[in-house]
């Protein structure tokens, strides 16, 4: 595979080549190289009881997993029977163990093999391989983060977000509702649009009125970045100045902190030109809902979708391959492209 090369110096760097967004093989490769090695927001921790089966990035990674909880401890296990691969847990339930409905193999909630009929004569059985594999799982802000093959611990991905946002709210933000949007575009086009405020004055008329574009800034960390928006109206801020913190955790998690609470966006690839975005809303202060930078998220979302879908049309053009970055306004996008290159080149 031809390596991706994004110059570390944004002043001379060129953007990610168009083939990353258009090539089927690269889209396939991104599953193992990017998505299996990072942390995927897969559920709401406080909603998980004894047994909850799900599919990790359905239609993309498509990995059947089951969350279990025993004595308060959350686990994530492979949901594929170690006998002949039937899905073990089929629905959410309060069971104290797992039993495969094909030939009756039993597991405990930690995934350990318990029993199996008609295997008395089998030699070297059971072995370690008859347990359900355990999958890395962590929680953060009531989000469940799962990684099939973590390149680094979750703290390296979200550490800066945790430390910077710990004291933002008096009440702990609580999960309220979820919405889904479909975007006819490659997942990375959706992310890189999010990662720059450069387009705000051009694309988001109402949002532009509630933030002070001149003070808008981006900071980058190892696997995350944050954009900070200030407001001229102190009543719409956390501390008299800051209206929103837009955190991005590579490759597809957006955590938007507003005075009313957190809007989490999870960007899930479906096809190379189709993406689902899940909006999870956590409210900390009801009285501030509907005001400031985080007021009309639906309008902002639809404005973003329209430009991103337009880029999807353009990225396929014979006449486009790479562009250049604004050194003052596109540091977040540059950082994102550098990480994509790093993960894809391995």
Closer residue to ligand FES in complex, CB, 98/161? 98
Q: How far apart are CA 293 and CA 302, in angstroms?
A: 15
Structure tokens at 136: 């890395």
Question: Tokens 């509630």 identify what position?
Answer: 210
Task: Count Cβ neighbours within 10 Å for each residue of 320-329 and write b for 16 or more, e otherwise.
Answer: eeeeebeeeb
Q: Does the protein bind ligand FES through residue 100 (CB under 6 A)?
A: yes
Q: Which does 99 bind (CB under 5 to 8 A by kind): ligand FES, Fe ion, none?
A: none
Q: Which does 304 bind (CB under 5 to 8 A by kind): Fe ion, ligand FES, none?
A: Fe ion
* Contacts for 89 with CB less than 8 Å, ≥ 6 apart: 51, 52, 53, 66, 79, 98
Nearest Cα to Cα of residue 200 among 184, 220, 216, 186: 216
Q: Does the protein bind ligand FES through residue 81 (CB under 6 A)?
A: yes
Which one of 47, 103, 176, 322 is in contact with ligand FES (CB under 6 A)? 103
CA atoms within 13 A on the CB side of 338: 19
Q: How far is the CB of 90 from ligand FES (least distance, A)?
A: 12
Q: How far is the CB of 64 from ligand FES (least distance, A)?
A: 13
Q: How far apart are CA 16 and CA 23, in angstroms?
A: 13
Q: How far is the CB of 102 from ligand FES (least distance, A)?
A: 4
Question: Tokens 């089929």 identify what position?
Answer: 90
Q: How far is the CB of 91 from ligand FES (least distance, A)?
A: 16
Q: Which does 84 bind (CB under 5 to 8 A by kind): ligand FES, Fe ion, none?
A: ligand FES
Name residues contacting Fe ion, limited to 274-313 (CB under 5 A). Answer: 304
CB 39 within 8 A of CB 153: no
Q: Does the protein bind ligand FES through residue 106 (CB under 6 A)?
A: no
Q: Does the protein bind ligand FES through residue 52 (CB under 6 A)?
A: no
Chain residues binding ligand FES by CB under 6 A are 81, 83-84, 86, 100, 102-105
């Amino acid at each position: 595979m031809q390596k991706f090369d994004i110059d570390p110096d944004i002043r001379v760097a060129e953007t990610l080549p168009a083939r990353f967004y258009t090539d089927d093989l690269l889209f396939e490769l991104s599953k193992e190289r990017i998505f299996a090695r990072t942390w995927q927001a897969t559920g709401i921790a406080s909603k998980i009881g004894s047994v909850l089966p799900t599919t990790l990035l359905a239609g993309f990674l498509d990995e059947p997993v089951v969350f279990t909880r025993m004595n308060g401890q959350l686990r994530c296990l492979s949901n594929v029977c170690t006998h002949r691969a039937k899905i073990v847990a089929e629905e959410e339930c309060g069971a104290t163990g797992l039993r495969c409905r094909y030939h009756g193999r039993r597991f405990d909630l930690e995934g350990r093999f318990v029993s199996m009929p008609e295997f008395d004569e089998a030699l070297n059985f059971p072995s370690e391989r008859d347990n359900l594999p355990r999958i890395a799982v962590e929680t953060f802000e009531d989000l469940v983060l799962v990684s099939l093959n973590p390149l680094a611990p979750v703290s390296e991905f979200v550490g800066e977000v945790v430390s910077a946002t710990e004291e933002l709210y008096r009440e702990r933000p609580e999960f309220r509702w979820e919405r889904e949007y479909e975007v006819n575009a490659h997942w990375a086009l959706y992310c890189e649009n999010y990662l720059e405020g450069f387009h705000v004055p051009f694309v988001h008329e109402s949002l532009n009125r509630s933030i002070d574009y001149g003070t808008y800034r981006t900071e980058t960390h190892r696997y995350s970045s944050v954009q900070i928006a200030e407001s001229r109206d102190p009543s719409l801020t956390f501390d008299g100045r800051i209206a929103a913190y837009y955190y991005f955790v590579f490759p597809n998690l957006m955590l938007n902190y507003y005075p009313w609470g957190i809007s989490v966006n999870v960007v899930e690839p479906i096809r190379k030109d189709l993406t689902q975005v899940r909006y999870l809303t956590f409210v900390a202060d009801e009285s501030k809902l509907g005001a400031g930078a985080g007021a009309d998220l639906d309008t902002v979302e639809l404005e973003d979708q329209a430009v991103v879908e337009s880029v999807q049309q353009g990225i396929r053009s014979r006449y486009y391959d790479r562009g250049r970055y604004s050194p003052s306004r596109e540091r977040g996008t540059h950082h994102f492209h550098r990480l994509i290159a790093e993960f894809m080149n391995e």
